[in-house]
A and B are shown apart, each in its own frame.
Chain A
Amino acid sequence: MLAKLFGGTHRKNRVYDFHGGVHPPENKQQSNGTAIQPGPLPARLILPLNMHIGAPAKPLVAPGDKVLKGQMIAEPVGAVSAAIHAPTSGTVSAIGPRPIQHPSGMDAICIVIDSDGEDRWVDHQGIADYTELSPGELVDTIRQAGIAGMGGAGFPTSIKVNLGDHQRVEQLIINAVECEPYITADDRLMRERAADIVAGIHILQYLLNPRRTLIGIEDNKPEAISAIKRACKGCDIEVRVVPTKYPSGGEKQLIQLLTGKEVASGQLPAQVGVVCQNVGTAFAIQRAVCHGEPLLSRITTLTGDAVAQPGNYETLLGTPVADLLQHGGVHSQQLGRLVMGGPMMGFTLHNPAVPVVKTTNCIIAASPQELPEPPPEQPCIRCGSCAEACPANLLPQQLYWHAKNDDLDKALHHNLMDCIECGACAYVCPSHIPLVQYYRYAKGEVRQRAADQVKADKARQRFEARQARIEQEQAEKEARRQARLEANRKKKEAGAAAPTGPSAEQAAALKQASLEASKAYKAAVKAAKTAEAQGDDNAADLKAEAERLKAVADKAKAAVRDAKADAPAVAAPADDAVASLKKQVGDASSAYKAAVKAAKDAEASGADDAGDLRARAEALKATADRLKAELRDAKANAPTTPAAPQTDPVAELKKQVGDASSAYKSAVKAAKEAEAQGADNAAELRAEADRLKAVADQLKADLRDAKANAPAPAKAAPAGKAPPADSPKVPESDAPQSVAGVDPEQAAKRQKRLKALKTAYNMAHKQYKDAHAALERAERHEELSADEFNAMQQKVDKLKGKADVARDALDALVEEAKADIRAHTGKDLKTLKLEAARAESALADKQQELAQRRDSAAEETLEALEAELKALETEAHIARKALKQAVEEQGLVEE
């Protein structure tokens, strides 16, 4: 009553209350009776890069590096991070995954230091008067010292003490409550090192400049209270004794206890003008600032029934729990459950190799009786005890239902995220429901879902960006296509405006001519085949004829190609068309001439198929004539010399021959068809064809006569320029003789040798290839012994040598043949080819000229021209023959 009155009068010093809370057995007396003892100096220290909340530190050392005590071995990365220092001197033996202080039991990257036992310090010195430093520099000192919240969360202290100018700190609260059962680390620290703690609090005051500074201590630590009170005498630090209740040490609960302020859901204490620091953190700050010692060790309570000497040990960070247990004398037979942290909020350790870190305030090595196996979970009876116990004013049973049914939205609606996981609800639950595990699970799911959502949004963005990009690309492509189409259309229009009409017509005519020529060739081939089948003796001749026709057809095709190539050249379409037509005419007539000559030859040799040949010649002539007519038309269209009909007796005769031969041809065709169908009258038809052939022969003979009678070469050839035909005529006509001069026997021999060599080379090469492939196969499968492999390798090499020799011989022979040609003709193969081509083109020119003048020039001139043409024709023929002969003789037929 008095106390109440006292509290009422000093309202300022009043301690408030928070909702809920429990009173679990304290179990502190086991460890708070003895003074803080130094921890072990283990042979190996394991320092996780993530002993704090935030980004893992970045190692500054490499395996093999020597480090001294207090040397920074990992630096903070980003704002929310903390440095790590070597707790003792030694060698960095590894940086790699080791089991760490995490309920998952997973590994994380750690720096492993093998201590050398000397515990040698790096050079360090404290700051005599920290008030000379700016708060910023002081914060940096704290950051460099790697200090993180020692109460359990491990939030980097440098962030918490660096709030910026805009944030006014009303109250600085030093958390010395230590409400969890078993833990006495802060209790012993306050009893023994109260002055250092108060010095640390002064540094915090200097940094934060709070209006009031409060220390909250539970009333179950009377010695600590008196020690602190003694140390605080004469300064503006208020010591507040709070009643023992779990979880008074929760940050929000303590703020409510001491100030009456509630930190709203999702808010930070700083937002209500409060900063909360653990008493151990204050001590660490004092060590760092006044002594220059970074955070290297912490007071860890080692307790539990399985420990022989329970108490508080000043443990180096990174000390494996196993070493600490050994140091404290743990009876391994009695050890049931090993807990890191307190029994309410800690977690079971499954691996004693886990190190003690900045947040490890307690290790409980409990006997099975002390912390027994939890009883099976029972159904919730809706007693509501949990809601009464909850210090965060939540509805634990509602959260439980929703978490159990994965109804995360409803759980969130019941402020799942405000649960501090203190375990008070689970402690009071008569059904032994592991409520906190349910909430942790639900929280994990919520976080996972949020992460998934972020990822999904990112994926959606990227997908949509990609779609947009693809659409744009397609649009651009389409635009380009349209532009191209437009350009083409314009070009076409422009082309239509220009006189491409006639040229197109010419092209069509040329195509027609080409078609006809190839048709004639095909017919000839067919005829030849039939003849062969029947064993006609003129089969060979027919074949020759077919070859010739083929040449004609090819030429016609070439002309069509040329015409096509010329067509786009809009510059002089009409002229070009005329020219190409002229060329075509020239080709056709030269073919005709060749045919005539062949016919003549045949006649001379008395072959009975001469008539046939002549008929073909006539057919060709007809083609040539038609082309000429076209040319005339074209010329008539073009502004050149007007056309005049040509009346040539020879031509007339030729026409007759043509008619006759076409009649013969159709007869032959009919006969063939009849034969093909197995008709009886096939023989008759064939006889008829023969008769027709005779008629054609007669006509051809007439034609020859007529030609012979025609005036010979004109003296006044109006084709002013001296035809280049005369000069090459002599040497070229010599050519065949000289080639023929090669010893035919020798040539034949060489041909044979060439052939043999080629075969030899081919075979050798093939063998080599096969052997090589086999070798490779063997190598791949590794099925050969080394000896076998070597033998095979040798074989392959030998074969390769053989092939090379054959190749060389072949090459040499080919070279020899070429040289021979050179020696015999005075020209090499290339020159021969060139000459043949030149003769042909001269011939074509002349033919064109003739065709051109046929309409305009006098008859005499024409005759002269024709004679010239004939001469040229002969020349071209000779050149061609010489080339062919040379090539064939030397066995250099193209492969």
Chain B
Amino acid sequence: MTAVLIAIAALLGLAAVFGAVLGFASEKFKVEGDPIVDQIDDLLPQTQCGQCGHPGCRPYAEAIAEGEEHNRCPPGGQDTVDALTDLLGRDAMTVDDDGAEDADVTKVAYIREDECIGCTKCIQACPVDAIVGAAKLMHTVIVDECTGCDLCVEPCPVDCIDMLEVKPTLQTWGWNRPAGIGQRPDSRIEVVNL
């Protein structure tokens, strides 16, 4: 009988000790915020364009974490969708970009400066503060900061904002992927061992 009591007491004691340890750990190593949202946000392209229907990338990341479909980011393209699929372990999806042909073309806004009337509407629309200017003064886009989100084009009352394709420079140029099996890789120099 005493053996049983001892066993019970020992188990209760262990339970109390582990409970205390776990309780302490859950307080001490508490995870702030929602790490999955941060991970999703890191994968999104941060154009803040709102094409997903959310006011920015982070709100969309939060929505995805809550179960929204993860294929609504046209700027991120299929790569982002695939990365999210991997991260979330969800079913693979194709990006929902309404079949836009130039979806994978990087663009930046360009203000035709002599046509700008200085209304500041585009400045207010820019989600990343990439447009400088003041009321009744010409505005211009900081090209390096522009995410190409398109949001400034619509508010412009004089339609002086164009979305221009970013042409590759010597710094951003990269080799093309070889055409693949059965194709002659024209950039390869064949050194023949005679």
**B129 at interface by CB-CB < 8 Å:** yes
Contact residues, A432-467 vs B (CB, 8 A): 432, 434, 436-438, 440-441, 443-445, 447-448, 451-452, 455-460, 462-467
Which A342-379 residues have a C-beta within 8 angstroms of B?
A: 343-344, 346-348, 370-379
Q: Contact at B178–A438, with CB atoms within 8 Å?
A: yes
Docked CA distance A445–B79 (Å): 12
Tell me the complex Cα distance, A282–B79, Å. 48
A466 engages B182 (CB within 8 Å): no
Task: Report how far A347 CA is from B188 CA in the complex, Å.
Answer: 8
In the complex, what distance in Å separates the CA atom of A53 from the CA atom of B184?
31
Q: With A24-B193, A104-B170, A427-B191 known to touch, is A462 a contact of B183 (CB < 8 Å)?
A: no
> B56, B175, B179: which contacts A444 (Cβ < 8 A)?
B175
B184 contact set on A, CB distance < 8 A = 373-377
- CB pair A441 B175 closer than 8 Å: yes
A-B contacts, 28 of them at CB < 8 A, read: A24-B191, A25-B194, A106-B169, A344-B189, A371-B191, A376-B181, A377-B184, A403-B177, A404-B177, A404-B180, A432-B190, A434-B178, A434-B188, A436-B188, A437-B187, A441-B178, A447-B174, A448-B174, A451-B172, A452-B45, A459-B46, A459-B47, A462-B128, A462-B130, A465-B129, A466-B127, A466-B128, A467-B56
Chain A residues whose CB sits within 8 angstroms of the CB of B2 once the complex forms: none
CA A444 to CA B173, docked complex, whole Å: 8
Q: Mark B11-49, 1 if CB is under 8 A from A, else 0.
A: 000000000000000000000000000000100111110
**A728 close to B (CB within 8 Å):** no
Chain A contacts to B: CB under 8 angstroms: 24-25, 50, 102-104, 106, 108, 181, 337, 339, 343-344, 346-348, 370-379, 403-404, 406, 423, 426-427, 432, 434, 436-438, 440-441, 443-445, 447-448, 451-452, 455-460, 462-467
Contact A437 B188 (CB under 8 A): yes
Q: Pick the contact of B191 from A25, A406, A455 — CB < 8 Å?
A: A25
Q: Does B162 contact A (CB under 8 A)?
A: no
Q: For the complex, is B186 an interface residue (Cβ under 8 Å from A)?
A: yes
B46 near A457: Cβ-Cβ < 8 Å:
yes
Docked complex Cα distance between A123 and B116 (Å):
53
Hey, which chain A residues are within 8 Å of B187, CB to CB?
103, 347-348, 434, 437
Assuming the contacts A103-B175, A373-B184, A434-B185, asked whether A460 and B46 have C-beta atoms less than 8 A apart, the reply is yes
Residues of A contacting B192 in the complex (Cβ-Cβ under 8 angstroms): 25, 370-372
Chain A residues within 8 Å of B191, by CB:
24-25, 181, 343-344, 371, 423, 427
Report B-chain residues with C-beta under 8 Å of the C-beta of A467.
56
* Residues of chain B at interface, number, CB under 8 A: 42
- Most B-side CB within 10 Å, residue of A108, A339, A374, A434: A434
Please encode chain B, from 111 to 147, with 1 for each CB lying within 8 Å of some chain A CB and 0 for all others.
0000000000000000111100000000000000101
Using known A-B contacts A378-B181, A460-B46, determine if residue A448 contacts B172 with beta carbons closer than 8 Å: yes
A371 vs B186: C-alpha distance when bound (angstroms): 12
**Hey, which chain A residues are within 8 Å of B152, CB to CB?**
none
B168 located at the interface, meaning its Cβ lies under 8 Å from any Cβ of chain A in the complex: yes
A residues near B129, Cβ cutoff 8 Å: 462, 465-466
- B173 and A106 contact, CB distance less than 8 A: yes
Complex CA distance for A24 and B190, rounded to whole angstroms: 11
Give the chain A neighbours of B193 by CB distance below 8 A. Answer: 24-25
Q: If the complex has contacts A106-B173, A377-B182, are A463 and B56 also in contact, measured as CB distance less than 8 A?
A: yes
Chain B residues, CB < 8 A from A458: 145
B170 near A377 (CB under 8 angstroms)? no
B170 touches A102 (CB 8 A): yes
Taking CB atoms, residues of chain B closer than 8 Å to A460 are 41, 46, 57-58
Q: Which residue of A lies closest to B43 (CB)?
A: A456
Q: Give 3 closest A-B pairs by Cβ, nearest first.
A: A444-B174, A434-B185, A456-B46
Contact pick for B190, options A373, A445, A463, CB 8 Å: A373
A423-B191, A444-B173, A457-B46 known; 6 new pairs, CB 8 Å cut-off, are: A374-B184, A376-B182, A437-B178, A441-B175, A455-B46, A463-B127
A52 to chain B, nearest CB (A): 13
A377: contacting residue among B127, B128, B181, CB under 8 A: B181
Instruction: Say whether B45 contacts A463, CB under 8 Å.
Output: no
Q: Are B128 and A104 in contact (CB under 8 A)?
A: no
B residues in contact with A348, CB < 8 Å:
186-187, 189
Q: How long is the Cα–Cα vector from A832 to B44 in the complex, in angstroms? A: 79
**DSSP class of B's interface residues: helix, strand, loop or mixed?**
loop
**What is the CB-to-nearest-CB distance from B46 to chain A, in angstroms, rounded to a whole number?**
4
Please, how many angstroms separate the alpha-carbon atoms of A24 and B193 in the complex?
6
| Cβ-defined contact, A438 with B189, below 8 A | no
User: Given contacts A374-B190, A459-B48, are A441 and B57 in contact (CB under 8 A)?
Assistant: no
Among B181, B183, B190, B194, which residue has the most Cβ atoms of chain A within 10 A?
B190
Chain B residues positioned under 8 Å from A456 (CB to CB): 44-46
Shortest Cβ gap from B62 to chain A (Å): 14
**Cβ of B190: which chain A residues have Cβ within 8 Å of it?**
371-375, 432
With the chains together, A438 CA to B170 CA distance in Å? 19
Residues on A with C-beta less than 8 A from B127 are 463, 466
List of B residues within 8 angstroms of A376 by Cβ: 181-184
Shortest distance from the beta carbon of B60 to any chain A beta carbon, whole Å: 12
Once the chains are docked, how many angstroms separate the CA of A210 from the CA of B189? Answer: 39
Taking CB atoms, residues of chain A closer than 8 Å to B183 are 376-377
Contacts of B172 in A (CB 8 A): 448, 451
- Complex CA–CA separation, A103 to B181 (angstroms): 22
Task: Write the chain A residue with the least CB distance to B193.
Answer: A25
C-alpha spacing A460/B44, complex, angstroms: 10
> Hey, which chain B residues are within 8 Å of A378, CB to CB?
181-182
In angstroms, Cα B48 to Cα A457, docked, is 12
Contact partners of A102 in chain B: CB under 8 A: 170, 173
Of A108, A344, A432, A440, the contact of B175 (CB 8 Å cutoff): A440
Which residues of A sit under 8 angstroms from B189, Cβ to Cβ? 337, 339, 343-344, 346-348, 371, 374
Smallest CB gap from B189: residue in A = A343
- Given known A-B contacts A426-B188, A463-B46, A108 and B177 have beta carbons under 8 A apart: no
Judge whether A104 and B168 touch: CB under 8 Å: yes
Cα A250 to Cα B194 with chains together (Å): 24
**Residue among A344, A374, A448, A452 making CB contact with B185, cutoff 8 Å:** A374
Chain A residue at minimal CB-CB distance from B173: A104
B77 to chain A, nearest CB (A): 11
Q: Smallest distance from the beta carbon of A54 to chain B beta carbons, Å?
A: 11
Q: How far is the CA of A81 from the CA of B147 in the complex (A)?
A: 30
Residues of A close to B128: CB separation below 8 A: 459, 462-463, 466
A445-B173 contact given A375-B184, A426-B188, CB 8 Å threshold:
no
A263 to chain B, nearest CB (A): 25
| B51 nearest CB across to chain A (Å) | 14
Smallest CB–CB gap between B176 and chain A, Å?
A: 6
Residue ID in chain B nearest A459 by CB atoms? B46
- Bound-complex Cα distance A377 to B41 (A): 40
- Return chain B residues, CB-CB under 8 Å to A459: 46-48, 128, 145, 147
Measured in the bound complex, the distance between the Cα atoms of B177 and A440 in whole Å is 8
Nearest chain A CB to B163 CB, angstrom units: 16
Q: Hey, which chain B residues are within 8 Å of A427, CB to CB?
A: 191
Docked complex Cα distance between A467 and B48 (Å): 11
Instruction: Report the bound CA distance from A444 to B177 in whole Å.
Output: 10
Between B173, B178, B190, B191, the greatest number of chain A beta carbons within 10 A of the residue's beta carbon is seen for B191
Residues of B close to A423: CB separation below 8 A:
191
The residue on B at minimum CB distance from A448 is B174
Bound form: Cα–Cα A467–B128 in Å: 9
Do residues A377 and B180 form an inter-chain contact, with CB atoms below 8 A?
Answer: yes
Residues on B with C-beta less than 8 A from A374 are 184-186, 188-190
Rounded to whole Å, the gap between the CB of A413 and the closest CB of chain B is 15
B123 to chain A, nearest CB (A): 11
Contacting residues, chain B, for A347 (C-beta < 8 A): 187, 189
- Shortest CB distance B108–A (Å): 11
How many angstroms between the C-alpha atoms of A402 and B77 in the bound complex? Answer: 20
Q: Which residues of A contact B186 (CB under 8 A)?
A: 348, 374
Q: What residues on A are CB-neighbors of B45 within 8 Å?
A: 452, 456
Write out the residue numbers on chain A whose beta carbons fall within 8 Å of the beta carbon of B177.
403-404, 437-438, 441
